[in-house]
Structure 1
């Protein structure tokens, strides 16, 4: 206690010294730090499980990021390595294993293409901006930003495939333009013919979509992004993409479908070309123009959506869809083009590794004439649903083929060509060669032959007894009348008198290369031949009796070269087969066939026509082949399976097709005369008393005395005796 008797305050004991009487700030002692509270780990089994799970999580995380780092290093190394092996971009723009063939008509205009067409190297800068934008909008809208693969695009494609019930890699691929280019390059694997069954097998292998293949494709695509610029990748793609109808690259496709360069295509044309990338054959405008235009309309919408076109530009393009060029629309001369490719040298046509340009004999005006004639007759005179076929060949007297139709479907490529591939019995269309042999041996058109029953003994088989189509016999008649009415018995008699070997020789020298019958039925066309052979043989009659080789190639050169590697400007006329006088007389006889005989339906207004009908046994084949002073044309009609024609003979529908063709062929041309000579002596009248008179070989119109007339058989016997006498004398 204090002296005053008061107790001291306990608080005073907190200080070592008595507090000053002055007022001072009170210093408070800092509160002690509180230790963080921690949860006590559960003990027992639960604690052990929790600890194990934490360990596993840390282990997985550690392995994952380390594994990812290792994988990234491996992929990065692979990408860098592949990038170092890639060639220059300019070395891989044209990857074709085969070359192209461009076919020009007689005027130098393109009418067909074959092989792998390549229009020339283009770049992403030189093509139309419309085309470049259409391709990017359609195939890879993030092309400018991704590193070669687009994870977002792949995920979207997988999701769509699964939703549509397909496998994750089936259907939509999510491939970038870079990945598609890698696939076009086959991941750097070159085509070596000796290692593959075919180029198609090689390309099929390049398109495989296994997981391992997709992984390699991704690495290759990223390597391309390292090695090449975006513009170089797009350039490769634009040059190598297959776009249908044998076209490789957008330049070839633009030329093929629109007749213009890829630098000139407008928005609607660009959209149509870009639309081919998804399915080149399906969307090719030459297969289905409407389907191709619908696909292009969809792509124009994508271009507007992504800002490449304004709404007004898109609507204008949709209102004016792309259409085919005139040549692409016509697909002129498909059968003719196929024939040229088959008949030309293999190393410059079917198996060419070069780009070849062939100028041909085709006349597109005449080709249209033949096609229109075919369609006209089948539309107006053939029963609906009939499967009968027909073929047409038009050529000049030297064998230059001007038009060819190998079947009712005229817009084809690679189809069966009935004009060049179908060997059919020729029937009475063969008879002119029988009379050609007879006239060359000295007979005359007004010489007499007897149309009476004939029986020819055949060793080891029944006797041969030919019948006329009307089952009648008309007795004595001139050679001209026998041909005019297409009498069978006189033709066989003349053939037997002249000699079958001579008839076969004349026919084969005129260009009928098929095996000719050995028996007496040779005279009635029992042998088979093709339409182009028969038409070429008739061209030999028109040109005065010289053989003809039908041809379609005029010149052949490599693209870019002016000097031809092949030149056939001299034509297809070969050696003389029969004398010119005999050819002119035969032409006159065939003129009578059209004027008053079996070929009257082939008459042309203001034009002289010579020709011959032909109908085979049971009417399985019907022919009409004839010519004017300018052109010769042949028509065949029948069924592919040899079904007999109903109510059709050579003088019927084939003559109608021939007439419709030649009216169009000669439209605008001045009529020319046939190269023919009428007999100097008038034909005997039917009522003339026997023996019928025949002009002897020595009876000329120059006033020489006439010898007693002979029958055709006697004349042939005399000529053959003269020939063998000369041989024995050594002349």
Structure 2
């Protein structure tokens, strides 16, 4: 049987195995074209090259674009290398020597082909092998020629990261991707380089981008270890994947990765590849790059890493989200131990050095994770930063006004009250904001659970304020000559067709403005508004910071217009401070790369023009708590405020001031359904009372110098000193009259531990290495312990010895054991007293905490 002649190719030439297809390049420039034009348009083939190089260049266009894409990341020299590689490929495909080699190869195979024809099974095997080889070659060429310019990735600008610090300078939250500073090869700490090579790519300095031997070895070691002990891909392959290719697990991507890795190894020295890998790797917690990871987890630059810290970082790159030490410290330490063993096996360190590092494992020296409740505040900060400096190109650090102690108190009092009464009173949501009289936001709770809803009910929710709006009516009247003792008549009142009613349907006759405001009498407020004029009331509200729509309607006097909790609280802050207006703020300073981008001016609010009216208004606000609807908000210091309740109890508010704090509280339901008879004077006032009592005590304890003496109206009151961090035997607090030590000993003369403890489990605390077991609580670990830890963080706990070696501890005057059992955070143990057993039974009946199931 005669062989079939080759199929004619372009220009009548036979098509052989070197012809890769595609349009053939003209043999000469077209008439009228500039000399050399055809060479430029087909990849710059040198004069004298055959026309068979053009189809190859066309097929390799995808590889050329890929080369240009990755070349842009690694510099001009590399891009030049790509161009040369492409030109070389083109020349090689069309060179006469290549064609002669192909012909010689075909001649060499003719005897084998003849033998195969005589032995049928050998012919089948040879054909199968040839087919497989051909398919593999074809697929490789396909993978290269289909490389997109960006590897299939959509490259988008990454927003700069935001590191958020509290008023005391403590970093407590981050937003965005932290990339940090880029290390140069000589700045990479040797201990980190050795750790990465040992665990990820032991033959990094021996291979040329692909390590088949290492891949097989890693498979056997991982199978023997029962887990991922050693990586299979080389560091070069991982760098190509991170920098250019997508994460698709396909054969085509693997082929592309292998070829690009070989090319990259030919262009860059090993130390440069390793450095670029460390600068690009993800280490968890939104952190990219070794230096940023060292700062995030250990509070130091990469060059200062210890052996145990370097081992921990090296162990993260395989599973950063799962092993990130701010969430899984035990897992990160276990992986670090594997890295140390690998370093011993490779000879990077001695066995003794590894054992010493294992005995002193790395410790995370920065906050473990963003406290969940602070996310509402951090959202507000992020919005403020964008408004102040826009979206900057570099990571920024912002110093805020947040007092973490007050934030913890705010979260706890809201949660406790809603857990206790929310279901029964049909209340599903609550919000609280605390600020200094100058507008500095000290605490913000935007909702019951940020994980369930990121909607901020302090800044975003617009609800009817009810009687809170009477502040503007009465202040307008005082500005127009009325006095707190001026008399009005509480009687049925009608404005047009509208006839407002008092709560409870009662009328009191002649009453003073003080009494009418304290008892929130609606008819008097409407009469006053009509007397002074609704436009004047609106003007007063605007001057105090209300920006929401305010319709010129008689019902505005009773709070029919919607506003936010932050707006109404800032208005009360201005009145409390005797200021013209107060601007709420959460940002004090913004820094980026050691440069100050913004600093808030240290200016006090402008004093109000009519101080007599403001003084009269303070009289009325004080009467609310002293004798009116705000009795539940009474505290041990002079205070003033106002309750607000809307129709059908859809909204309940209490806003007031005491000491150097102005605090607003709102309760309600997001779907605007009615609550079960909740008024501003009960649950909101109780929450306000609990928060203010604990907050003032905490601030007095933290500010033992001038800061502790700051009073209402002084901006300095917004700053607070950090709460105690470690436990100690309490210093004697001597009664000046008797000279007796009244706090450092209990009645039996035993020492009392005080401090902010770590939580081992919900029944065990750790005071700086001293373990304390709580009386009556069988502790739980896991989520319950983490929640208790967040609750106790930076809060002062006092523990006195009890029977059986246990301790009875108190927090803000409450028994801690009872608090834990009441909230379903543990089970009563054998030594539980009757009051603790009753607390557990209450939690069980209410299906709280562990009893929810």
Whether TM exceeds 0.5 here: the answer is yes
Matched, 1:101 2:129: no
Higher relative contact order (CA 8 A, sep 6+): 1
Alignment of 1:115 onto 2:176: yes
Aligned to 1:566: 598
Aligned to 1:634: 664
The 8 Å contact of residues 542 and 629 in structure 1, kept in 2 or not, is answered as: no
Instruction: Name the counterpart of 2:296.
Output: 256
Aligned-partner Cα distance in 1 for 2:593–2:469: 43
Instruction: Determine if the alignment matches structure 1 residue 476 to structure 2 residue 516.
Output: no
- Residue in 2 that maps onto 1:722: none
The 1:532–1:209 alpha-carbon spacing in structure 2 relative to 1, beyond 3 Å, is: same
* Separation of aligned partners in 1, 2:710 and 2:388: 41
Distance 1:319 1:429 in 2: 61
Pair 1:180 & 2:238 matched:
yes
Asked if the contact 2:661–2:712 (Cα under 8 Å) also holds between the matched residues in 1, the reply is no
Per the TM alignment, residue 503 of structure 1 is displaced from its structure 2 partner at its CA by 1.0
d(CA) in 2 for partners of 1:221, 1:480:
81
Moved more, 352-361 or 438-447: 352-361
- Equivalent residue in structure 1 for 2:574, among 514, 536, 540: 540
The RMSD of aligned alpha carbons is: 4.2
For residue 276 of structure 2, what is the aligned residue in structure 1?
Answer: 236
Name 1:600's counterpart in structure 2.
Answer: 631
Within the candidate set 383, 386, 391, 1:342 is matched to: 383
Give 2:398's match in structure 1, choosing from 335, 358, 364: 358
Between Structure 1 and Structure 2, how many residues are aligned?
A: 575
Q: Distance in 1 between matches of 2:677 and 2:562?
A: 22
Distance 1:95 1:266 in 2: 35
Q: Is the 8 A contact 1:399 1:572 kept in 2?
A: no
Moved more, 107-116 or 589-598: 107-116
Cα distance between partner residues in 1 of 2:515 and 2:217: 83
8 Å CA contact retained: 1:293, 1:322: no
Alignment of 1:514 onto 2:555:
no
Is the Cα–Cα contact under 8 Å of residues 550 and 556 in structure 2 kept in the other structure?
A: yes
Matched ranges for 1:438-587 at <5 A: 438-457=477-496, 463-561=497-595, 564-571=596-603, 573=605, 576=608, 579-587=610-618
> Would you say the 8 A contact 1:420–1:531 is kept in 2?
yes
Alignment partners' CA distance in 1, 2:206 and 2:499: 88
TM-score by length of 2: 0.60
Summarize deviations over 1:152-185 as a string: whole Å, max 9, x none.
Answer: 56678999999xxxxxxxxx99433222211221
Helix, strand or coil at the partner of 2:623: helix
1:317 & 1:643 partners in 2: Cα distance?
59
Q: Which residue is 1:705 aligned to?
A: none
Q: 2:317 aligns with which of 272, 277, 287?
A: 277
Contact 1:549–1:574 (Cα < 8 Å) also in 2: no
In structure 2, the partner of 1:300 is 337
CA offset digits 1:580-625 (Å, max 9, x no partner): 11111101110111112111222222x2111111122222222111
In structure 2, what is the Cα distance between the partners aligned to 1:638 and 1:519? 25
Distance 1:638 1:174 in 2: 56
**C-alpha displacement of 1:469:** 1.5
Deviation at 1:438, TM superposition (A): 0.9
- SS in structure 2 opposite 1:437? helix
Structure-2 change in CA distance of 1:62 and 1:452 (3 Å)? closer
The offset of 1:648, in angstroms, is 2.8
Contact kept in structure 2, 1:535 and 1:625, CA below 8 Å:
yes
Change (3 A) 1:67 1:542: closer
Equivalent in 433, 436, 442 of residue 402 of structure 1: 442
Match of 1:373 in 2: 413
1:724 corresponds in structure 2 to none
Matches of 1:446 and 1:235, distance apart in 2: 78
What are the Cα deviations for residues 186-226 of structure 1, in whole angstroms up to 9, with x where unaligned? Answer: 25xxxxxxxxxxxxxxxxxx333433332222222222222
TM-score, length basis structure 1: 0.69
Cα 1:379–1:64 shift into 2, 3 Å: closer
Structure 2 Cα separation of the partners of residues 95 and 455 of structure 1: 62
CA distance in 2, matches of 1:672, 1:63: 87
Which consecutive residues of structure 1, in runs of 5 or more, have no partner in the other structure?
1-46, 87-93, 163-171, 188-205, 458-462, 676-731
Is contact 1:619–1:649 with CA below 8 Å preserved after alignment? yes
- Measured after TM superposition, the shift of residue 369 of structure 1 is 3.5
Which sits farther off after the overlay, 481-490 or 367-376?
367-376
Contact 2:418 2:428 in 1 (8 A): no
Deviation string for 1:445-503 (max 9, x for gaps)?
1111111111221xxxxx21211122211111111111111111211211121111111
In the superposition, relative to structure 1, how do residues 541 and 233 fare at CA in structure 2: closer, same or farther (>3 Å)? same
The separation in 1 between residues aligned to 2:694 and 2:463, in whole angstroms, is 27
Looking at CA atoms only, which structure, 1 or 2, has the larger radius of gyration? Answer: 1
Q: Please state if 1:425 is matched with 2:464.
A: yes
- What are the equivalent positions in structure 2 for 1:38-53 lying under 5 Å apart? 50-51=118-119
- SS at structure 2 position matched to 1:529: coil
Matched-pair contact (CA < 8 Å) for 1:134–1:271? yes
Q: Which runs of 5+ in 2 are unaligned?
A: 1-114, 224-229, 714-853
**Whole-angstrom CA distance in 2 between matches of 1:415 and 1:242:** 27
Deviations 1:91-118 (A, max 9, x none): xxx9974323333333444333223212
C-alpha distance in 1 between matches for 2:670 and 2:221: 48
